[in-house]
Amino acid sequence: MAQIPDTVRALMRPSAAELEPYDPAFTPVEVNLSANENSYGLPAEVRAAVNQALAEVPVNRYPDPLAGELRAEIAAYYGLAPENVICGNGGDELIYNIFLAFGGEGHMVLHCPPDFSVYELYASLAESPCESVWRDPATFAIDWEKLRARVANATVTIVTTPNNPTGTLADPAEVEALALATDGLVLVDEAYMEFADMRSCASLISHYPNILVLRTFSKAFALAGARLGYVLADPGVVSALAAVRQPYSVGVLSQTAALAAWRHRPQIQPTIDEIVQQRGELYTRLSELGDLGVTVWPSSANFLLVRLPHAHEVRCRLRDEHSVLVRDFSSAPGLTDCLRITVGTPKENKRLVDGIVSILREA
Ligand SMILES: *Cc1c(COP(=O)(O)O)cnc(C)c1O
């Protein structure tokens, strides 16, 4: 990617002029455990149903702006009305739209790092001031008391559960207490909730008009490439998000693929169970590497956060010598020497562990 020349930068809006293009640090590898995708993909019969639906959908017409069919089926599943649901071009677009609708000068965003990096990026694009309540540096637990003390000053407070990149869960009772303590919005990012043994905050939507729950088809539903996420919220909040969205941002192919996958939830569930099982095994394997300096945190998502000596170098050598890609957080604040590893198939996980062991033994 070309550099942004100063002459071009001078023309950019001030909130964008400091930015660089997002780099997911992707290189082609045999084992990609870097982006928290579902390594298993869709089961063959579900993929066939998706293919069939895609083959039949007309693409000469614009999509239904609000993805009516998908919206209605998602709403029914949660016992909500279609007016409680809004779909987006991935969860990312919805986070962006939340700041577009509820951000700007004087509309503070409060969040709990280390968490998902796009919050700060999108908040700054929307010119929202961003404030942090840091998680416990050892356990990554949220400091609820501190968060509650500041929540009333924020327009949007974000709780990520399970949290990316730490895998940490948040207690829904604490989310309720947070929502009660503010007139602002509380966004609960549940991108990985399908992998957790915890109730979703979706059940709170009917009781708390200021709680928003974000979900996505990118992780458990193995549709990261389709770009489809949704927010559950009070109808008034949904309308505000609908007001700022690009009318046709969710393509007809994405809507169709997501709807077909959604209707096959029972067939997808065994894959999710398998990933949870593999997460446990990978956690055990990595925990056994304490003598090599490896620390691993318990996770309720489809990835594990590990801390190990010379993490940046280990990550490069895993990529170059073992063709295994993981995400490098080693220089991120609060995550010194940390790597985030997506749970893969048993073969992929073995290759990862063997790679880490051989690199650390050599050192
Ligand atoms: C992956 C992810 C999302 C949404 O991803 P999309 O692919 O844009 O749907 C949202 N929040 C967190 C914390 C994530 O990790």
- 64 phi/psi in degrees, rounded to 5: -65, 115
Q: Is the pLDDT of residue 1 over 90?
A: no
- One-letter identity of residue 285: R
Q: How confident is the model over 310-335, as pLDDT tens digits?
A: 999 999 999 999 999 999 999 999 99
* pTM score: 0.97
Q: Is the pLDDT of residue 91 over 90?
A: yes
Mean pLDDT (whole number) for 159-173: 98
What was the pLDDT predicted at 160? 98
What was the pLDDT predicted at 2? 87
What was the pLDDT predicted at 257? 98
Counting beta carbons within 10 angstroms of the beta carbon of residue 331, is it exposed (0 to 12), middle (13 to 18) or buried (19 or more)? exposed
Mean pLDDT (whole number) for 200-222: 98
49 Cα–ligand 1 center, Å: 25
Mean pLDDT (whole number) for 250-267: 98
pLDDT band at 22 (very low <50, low <70, confident <90, very high): confident
Average pLDDT, the chain: 97
Q: Closest ligand 1 atom to the C-alpha of 115?
A: 13
CB-ligand 1 contact for 166 (6 Å cutoff): no
CB-ligand 1 contact for 90 (6 Å cutoff): yes
What was the pLDDT predicted at 210? 98
Mean pLDDT (whole number) for 339-352: 98
Q: How confident is the model over 28-43, as pLDDT tens digits?
A: 999 999 999 999 999 9
311 Cα–ligand 1 center, Å: 24
- One-letter identity of residue 196: A
Counting beta carbons within 10 angstroms of the beta carbon of residue 126, is it exposed (0 to 12), middle (13 to 18) or buried (19 or more)? buried
CB-ligand 1 contact for 216 (6 Å cutoff): yes
What was the pLDDT predicted at 24? 75
Tell me if 273 sits within 8 A of 142, measured CB to CB. Answer: no
Mean pLDDT (whole number) for 125-145: 97
CB contact set of 4 (below 8 Å; sequence gap of 6+): 12, 20
Q: Is the pLDDT of residue 25 over 90?
A: no
Supply the residue whose CA is at minimum distance from atom 12 of ligand 1.
Answer: 191
354 Cα–ligand 1 center, Å: 29
CB-ligand 1 contact for 91 (6 Å cutoff): yes
361 Cα–ligand 1 center, Å: 35
Q: Is the pLDDT of residue 110 over 90?
A: yes
146 Cα–ligand 1 center, Å: 26
> Considering only CA atoms, which of 100, 98, 104 is closest in space to residue 86?
98
CB-ligand 1 contact for 229 (6 Å cutoff): yes
Strands (E), the chain: 31-32, 85-88, 109-111, 130-132, 156-160, 185-189, 211-216, 229-232, 295-296, 303-307, 324-325, 327-328, 338-342
- Which two three-digit tokens encode residue 136? 């416990």
What was the pLDDT predicted at 216? 98
